[in-house]
Amino acid sequence: MTIMSIAAKAAPAQSLSKEQIRKHFRKCDKDGNGFLTKQEIKEAFDRLCALFPAYRTRKAIAIADENGDGCVNMKDHEFEALIDYVYNLAYTKVNTAKRV
């Protein structure tokens, strides 16, 4: 094993881009109504392998839900506030495996 191969294995993973995060959260809108519910957001954090997905969900809604309806509107700035919050957490992967 060379020093270069060891360094390559130890290199930190690249964070997801904002566009990758947008795509991921759009997929979590199960009913396609343009709003992300608390459960849909939690599922998104589960798939991002968040250590505390329920906490992240509550925090995300507190930050992004400006009108207080408990959902994030994907058609306005609420969605971008959610994406900014998630992007700043620097997640590196989306787990696409189905949960049982």
Residue 36 belongs to some domain of the structure: no
Q: In this structure, is residue 9 part of a structural domain?
A: no
| Distance between CA atoms of residues 34 and 30, nearest Å | 9
pLDDT of residue 10: 58
Contact 89, 13 (CB under 8 A): no
pLDDT bin (cut points 50, 70, 90) of residue 96 is: confident
Confidence tier at 100 by pLDDT (50, 70, 90): very low
Region 66-80: mean pLDDT is 97
**Residues 68-90, mean pLDDT to the nearest whole number:** 97
Read off the pLDDT of each residue in 60-76 and give the average, rounded to a whole number: 97
> Is 70 part of any domain?
yes
Q: Within a 10 A sphere around the Cβ of 21, how many other Cβ atoms?
A: 22
Is residue 23 assigned to a domain? no
Tokens 């609420």 correspond to 78
Q: How many domains does the chain have?
A: 1
Has residue 21 got a pLDDT over 50? yes
Residue 77 resides in a domain: yes
Residue 57, in any domain of the structure: yes
By residue range, what is the domain housing residue 66? 49-90
Is 14 among the domain residues? no
